[in-house]
């Protein structure tokens, strides 16, 4: 199915493209968005977008990749940051337990709830309401650190666990 058809036929869209492709991808599918849809941005502005290192990020004029996405899609679409700090290696195999927490940000409380409910369907993962979309700036920076830890420790699944508070139930 094409990206355009996928966007037109679902209520929750998850965009996982590299940062360098984020704007073009969203502009291509923009005419297919419908009011009330939720766009989950997983893209992170890693320096690889400009032939740099995956352990560093580039500055984004909008503040974060998620905020940039929000500036491109129709304002009737709610943008959520989630899964940025969860290894793709863990997420690609649904039979594996994801030993990691998921930070979820959005300016739309209902959209956050929808995504937090999706997190509950992933074995081992716990979702945390991480506040407004502007907090994506911090979450995206953590991704570069996790990539660095993966390289340093020769693993592919470094992630986060939040302690001292209970996940959203």
Phi first, then psi, for residue 59 (nearest 5°) are -70, 140
As averages over each run of 10 residues, the pLDDT of the chain (169 residues) reads 94 95 96 97 90 87 96 98 91 86 97 97 94 97 93 93 88
Q: Are 27 and 2 in contact (CB under 8 A)?
A: no
Q: Which pLDDT belongs to residue 56? A: 87
Q: Which pLDDT belongs to residue 8? A: 95
Q: Which pLDDT belongs to residue 93? A: 82
Tokens of 79: 């943008």
Residue 133 class from Cβ within 10 Å (0-12 exposed, 13-18 middle, 19+ buried)? Answer: buried
Please report the domains of the chain, with CATH numbers, ordered by start residue.
3-153 (3.40.50.720)
Q: Which pLDDT belongs to residue 16? A: 94
Q: Which pLDDT belongs to residue 47? A: 87
Q: Which pLDDT belongs to residue 45? A: 93
């Amino acid at each position: 199915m094409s990206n355009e058809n996928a966007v037109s036929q679902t209520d929750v869209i998850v965009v996982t493209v590299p940062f360098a492709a984020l704007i073009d991808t969203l502009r291509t599918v923009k005419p297919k968005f419908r009011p009330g849809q939720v766009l989950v941005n997983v893209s992170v502005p890693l320096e690889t977008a400009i032939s740099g290192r995956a352990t560093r990020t580039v500055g984004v004029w909008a503040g974060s990749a998620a905020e940039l996405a929000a500036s491109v899609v129709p304002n009737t679409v709610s943008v959520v940051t989630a899964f940025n700090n969860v290894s793709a290696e863990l997420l690609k195999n649904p039979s594996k337990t994801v030993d990691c927490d998921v930070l979820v940000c959005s300016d739309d409380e209902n959209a956050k709830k929808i995504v937090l409910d999706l997190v509950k369907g992933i074995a081992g993962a716990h979702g945390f309401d991480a506040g407004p979309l502007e907090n994506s700036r911090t979450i995206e920076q953590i991704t570069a650190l996790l990539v660095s830890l993966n390289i340093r420790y020769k693993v592919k699944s470094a992630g986060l666990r939040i302690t001292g508070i209970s996940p959203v139930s």
